[in-house]
Amino acid sequence: MNDYRDNPYFELFSKQNENQFAVGNRTFKERFKTLDKLQRAIEVTYRTQIHEALKKDLGKPTVESELTEVYAIIGDIKFAKKNLYRWMRKQRVGTPLSLIGSSSYIKYEPKGVCLIISPWNFPFNLTFGPLVSAIAAGNTAIIKPSEMTPNCSELMAKIVADIFSEDEVAVVQGEVEASTELLKLPFNHIFFTGSPNVGKIVMKAASKHLASVTLELGGKSPTVVDKTADLDKAAKKILWAKFLNCGQICVAPDYVLVDEAIKDKFIAACKKWLSNFYNDNSKTSESYARIVTDKHFERLNTHLENAKSEKAKFEVGGQTDSESRYIEPTIISDLDPESSLLEEEIFGPILPIVTYKSLDMAIAYINSKPRPLALYIYSKSKSNTNRIIDNTRAGGTCINNSILHYANHELPFGGVNNSGIGKSHGFFGFKSFSNERAVMKQHTFGVTELLFPPYSGLKETLAR
């Protein structure tokens, strides 16, 4: 530990390190009570302040804040409280004949001192969500929220300080340097949500101490719309998921692969729904958010400029306003196959349309890119749906809907390879923050007594 004395967060880390067994050995009732306190803070005490902070940082409509932040965290907490007793219980397992006379169980013990690094797009949800799992599993945690949403980070620090002592849970605010220093410390587990590039930095830092990691990353999530799909419903659901939070969602449909025979009909349905959603004016609509920072606005504007210079077809949108960081919901087709919009994760309100001639071509296109966090399929054909699922890989899939698999606590949430390592939500989140300790107890004499030298008895048994 002496190696870390110069680290600005060493003292905080040491306090949690010393306290980890006291926290870890708390009873079910005590963990339940802690979750309850967090629930009350979000549901009652700080609810309005959460809306205000999200409005300041992201221009989030209050209904979206309720649905995707407050309601989502409360859902996580309620689910954890309902199942915690069962999750914490020893899981008895069977005993093979060769070990007769013994019994075995799995103990889900806390990993210890955990680091949670979170992004800015759903600041409360993606910070308190993992925290709920960390608390349920009996850990202490240091949280480093994103510097891009300072009002939200400030409020999270206040909420945490209100409920916890810093030797149990603490928030460290700061830029990349703060993360870098924290990552030097020998945490037992690191739960990171963010981009694949930073995920690699986190994993490299974790390897120094062989800390376990959960990496919730991003990437390009494809959406396939085949000839049999209900185009009107597909357009409505895809656009809602794409333009919610102004496209700044890890599981947003990144691009649509549509059968070329139905492209025009699909785009016509998209135009109808966009005009319905935002009353023909997304700029004045109270249902449409803004881009988080100037840097991200510029990044997205560059994509639009690239598309214009490639002579791609702007089916809808394309207008921007740098002052208010507004980007109109935009749908673009006929892009150059090497366009930046088809190579990089978009993370904004721009939806590329790519056409395909056969389902095999659509599958090959998906498989030519890194494995996505989500893959959406709009189809009435069971065989088409199964063909896509069986011949691709993805963290999760929604059929005839988008995003909503995220909301089922019974499902694991997470990516695969480039889109992530490990899972979160419900029991899967609890498991990520737990060590599955194997415990075997010898009760009476068993055949294992034959294991000891001299081996004459064992030799006879094996010879039989």
Judged by CB under 6 A, does residue 416 bind ligand NAD?
A: no
Judged by CB under 6 A, does residue 297 bind ligand NAD?
A: no
Looking at residue 49, the DSSP 8-state letter turns out to be H
Per CB under 6 A, the list member of 57, 254, 259, 345 interacting with ligand NAD is 345
Judged by CB under 6 A, does residue 398 bind ligand NAD?
A: no
Please give the residues from 273 up to 292 whose contact with ligand NAD meets the rule CB under 6 A. Answer: none
In the set 216, 315, 328, 345, the catalytic residue is: 216
Please give the residues from 161 up to 180 whose contact with ligand NAD meets the rule CB under 6 A. Answer: 176, 179-180
Please give the residues from 41 up to 80 whose contact with ligand NAD meets the rule CB under 6 A. Answer: none
Judged by CB under 6 A, does residue 221 bind ligand NAD?
A: no
- 3-state class of 212 per DSSP? strand
Tell me how far, at minimum, the Cβ of 369 lies from ligand NAD, in Å. Answer: 14
Question: Is residue 209 within 8 Å of 186, Cβ to Cβ?
Answer: yes
Q: Which stretch binds ligand NAD (CB under 6 A): 106-114, 119-127, 228-236, 316-324?
A: 119-127
The Cα–Cα gap between 322 and 327 comes to: 8
The Cα–Cα gap between 393 and 374 comes to: 9
Residue number with CB closer to ligand NAD (235 or 241) = 241
Active site residue 250: yes
Question: Is residue 136 within 8 Å of 87, Cβ to Cβ?
Answer: yes
Q: Which residue has the tokens 């309720």?
A: 66
In the chain, how long is the greatest CA-to-CA distance? Answer: 88
Per CB under 6 A, the list member of 16, 17, 121, 432 interacting with ligand NAD is 121
Single-letter amino acid code for the residue at 258: V
- Burial of residue 436 (number of CB atoms within 10 Å: 0-12, 13-18, 19+): exposed
Judged by CB under 6 A, does residue 421 bind ligand NAD?
A: no
Host H or E run for residue 306: helix 294-309
The Cα–Cα gap between 228 and 237 comes to: 16
Single-letter amino acid code for the residue at 285: S
Per CB under 6 A, the list member of 117, 172, 307, 332 interacting with ligand NAD is 117
Tell me how far, at minimum, the Cβ of 221 lies from ligand NAD, in Å. Answer: 9
Per CB under 6 A, the list member of 20, 146, 188, 212 interacting with ligand NAD is 146
Q: At what angle do helices 263-277 and 231-243 cross, to 10 degrees?
A: 50
Please give the residues from 189 up to 218 whose contact with ligand NAD meets the rule CB under 6 A. Answer: 193-195, 198, 201, 216-218
Active site residue 216: yes
The Cα–Cα gap between 110 and 141 comes to: 11
Q: Residues in the site for ligand NAD, rule: CB under 6 A?
A: 117-121, 126, 144, 146-147, 176, 179-180, 193-195, 198, 201, 216-218, 250, 345, 347, 373, 415, 420
